[in-house]
Chain A
Amino acid sequence: MNSASTLWKTVKNAMLYLILCVVTFLICFPLIWALSTSLKPKSEIFATPPTLIPHNLTLENYEALLTGRQQYYQAQGAPQNTGTTPAQFFTRWFINSVIVTLGSTLISIAVSTLAAYSLTRFRYWGRSAVPYFSLLGYMVPSIIFVFPLFLMMVRLDLTDSLWSLILGYVCITLPFCMWLMWAFMRSIPIEIEEAALIDGASRYQVFRQIVLPSALPGIIAASIFAMIVSWNDYLFGRVFINSIDNLTLTVGVMLFFEGTHVDWGLLMAASVLMTVPMAILFMALQRHLVAGFGAGAVKG
């Protein structure tokens, strides 16, 4: 009886692992395939039958993106300099994306942390309305914001500058950072702060030395979400930016696709490189992410 039940348990677990493996493979397949394509030379990309693990591993697609080597239009044998190609801007776009993502996240987090502290520790008119206002704000899709913000940027003479994107992303990330920080701050017990205040600490000392450290998990969760949203945005980048050097990755990489010639190896390499920063962030801070979801504040 005992051994039968152990056996049954082992079988059940094995089945479970099998199901998990199949499901995980299916879900991750698009990404695995993209990675595989990006590591193949041109000749192998269109090979039938397709190969999951490249026979001839090559980094030429990555090299082309990172060094900006010319990749297309070899005129009649001799390569011809035909000016710039989108691939040459890849590193530039990457840096732009990093700047706008960090910039907007920093602003959103700073503003919402201060505000959340104020909302949960002080009492004044309208303070209970702010979280609900934020909640409404983060339901509004960016397509509604984009043109009014665009015309505002035109008036401020900020179009075609990374500032327009930083401020634009603040507009879409601030509401849910606010909501999340408010929910988090509310759950931090107030007693230690009170004790410190009685001991003569100033408000600012309390905020810096007691509140910020205990709010850190919330700050991390909110930052991850803010970064994912900013890094992944396509619409604002498409509308706000005019010149090719100021584009962000998402908009720039779509340029590879819309020409007359799709280099799938290059595109997939670009896709992989675009996903990597978020993947690292995600892996490193996964448990905070789940905490954030628990607070019910995610945008997607």
Chain B
Amino acid sequence: MTKKFGNFPLDRRTFLGGMAAAGASAGSLFGTTPSFGQSKKTGTVRVWGEPGPYGGVGVAAMNEWAQKNAPGLKFEIETIPWDGVYVKLMTDLAAKRPPSLISVESPIATQMMAEGLLLPVDDMVDKIGRNRLVDGVKWDYWGNWKGKQYVIPAHHQPHLLLVRMDIIKELGLKDPETWDWNDLLHAAKTISEKKPNMAGFCMALGRNLCTDYHFAALLHSAGGRMFDPANKYQVVFDSPQTVEALNFVRELRPYMPKGAVEYSFLQVVDAHVTGQTAMSFYWGRTLGRAAEEAKPIFEATEAFNHARHPKTGRRNNWNDFQGWCIPAQNNPFIDEVKAALLYQQTSKEWLIKYCHSLMPNVAPTYKDIADAPELKDHPFYKSKPKTVDTYFRTSLANSSSTANEMLQGANPLAGYVHGRSVLAQTVQKVVIDNMKPEDAAKWGARELEAIRKENVRLLG
């Protein structure tokens, strides 16, 4: 039985058949679990997910498992808006009513795992297959703390530079693939000047998570960072690189929509999909929505790795290595969730459905899925092969995240940083209050230092 799990991909029927045949002896699979795959418990299993259909697809797979193995259970997705995550996190965990399974951005997963709130899942990794990940990523990226894996990959989702190629061609601008920061700025300026009623570029500048993420990518491209994991997470934010990134945002600001200072996720997508901007930073979701609501804009938009920083040559994106994690305390359905999650993770059909539910926002994490011909059976692959490939594969070389800055080590403080929107507030000091970038960097560094001091326990 255990051997069979080594042969991936394993299709659903084989897996189930194996389960049935194993019968009572299947208990050995999960160590302490007396009967894997069969549960008599009843009730609703609460699952947290991001806004969007993929969480629902993941849960649909789990419900298929439940129908066969735990007829009394129903998995139910609770969509947590990004900017509502921290309220939800506090109230649910403090109320001792956590969901049984969480799919959430990596900074929060990292924070929870360092706080000791999550269940280690190394046993599941073995069953899913340690060598199954696509090239260029490691299990650590999703969530590994002190040698233990706490997070099972759900997807990865980088934010890229979305460009309306019709406008670029019309104005005779260079191929965005070759751009550095100056070219991006120049393009934004040219578009704003030549196209009435259209902004050249759009990113989030509100006091929210989206701004934190967008700015972090610029910071990392400039070679700056918030904390230094090699040196006890000392704050290194008050740096020339931070100032450079802030200056770049300030230079871009005149070419962004006027309302950008209150934009969060939704509004950046809206700005692109409604044609208010020719370029924007965003995850693949923008294309998914454009395809539904604004076909011409969908057809004209392509995604690129970010413009290079002129000196460092880095083109970092903020990639959410989003995974499934299981709260360890007050969780009545741990065994059931593990079994159902394993069922989803080992079903090629469900994993492909998951990716297809919002193309090209959620990228496949396993080789067998990424290479599957069924995955390519989607209209986006035909109309935008390069863009899809950039989201799914070639962006990985430039991936970074606040939860794992430049992929050099998990950062358990990122959750607090985003909870307080420290990066976004730093940016807003510059674009709203006209503070000098040097002073804003100092302000941000002080906030980060306060977070570090209050949470030294996490750094152990």
Task: Give chain A's interface residues, CB within 8 Å of chain B.
Answer: 73-76, 80-86, 150-151, 153-154, 159-160, 238-240, 242-245, 255, 258-262
Contact = CB atoms under 8 A, between A and B. Distances in A.
Nearest to B92: A242
A261 B46 CA distance: 23
Contact of A260 (B44, B91, B97, B266): B266
Contacts of A244: 46, 76, 78-79
B55 A242 contact: no
B230 interface: no
Nearest to B77: A83
Contact of B56 (A84, A154, A238, A242): A84
Given A86-B79, A238-B87, A260-B52, A73 B357 contact: yes
A158 B59 CA distance: 27
Interface in B260-290: 265-266, 269-270, 285, 289
B344 to A, nearest CB: 13
A242 B76 CA distance: 13
Given A154-B96, A244-B78, A82 B53 contact: yes
Interface in B33-59: 44, 46, 51-57, 59
A82 B57 contact: yes
Nearest to A153: B95
A80 B51 contact: no
Contacts of B357: 73, 75, 80, 82
Given A75-B357, A159-B91, A258-B81, 5 more contacts: A82-B57, A153-B95, A239-B87, A255-B79, A258-B83
B356 interface: yes
A260 B289 contact: yes
A260 B269 contact: yes
Contact of B53 (A75, A150, A160): A75
Contact of B379 (A76, A80, A238, A245): A76
Contacts of B55: 83
With most chain B CB atoms within 10 A of its CB, the pick from A239, A244, A258, A262 is A258
A83 B92 contact: no
Contacts, number: 98
7 contacts: A76-B356, A150-B94, A159-B91, A239-B91, A245-B44, A259-B79, A261-B266
A210 B51 CA distance: 57
B95 A258 contact: no
Contacts of B295: none
B76 A84 contact: yes
A259 B44 contact: no
B60 interface: yes
A83 B289 contact: no
Contacts of A159: 91, 95-97
Contacts of B170: none
A261 B59 contact: no
Interface in B283-306: 285, 289, 292
Nearest to A46: B274
B95 A150 contact: yes
Nearest to A157: B96
Contacts of B97: 159-160, 242-243
A151 B96 CA distance: 11
A189 B358 CA distance: 70
Contacts of B44: 243, 245
Contact of A262 (B52, B78, B266): B266
B285 A243 contact: no
Contacts of A239: 87, 91
Contact of A82 (B56, B266, B285): B56
A255 B84 CA distance: 9
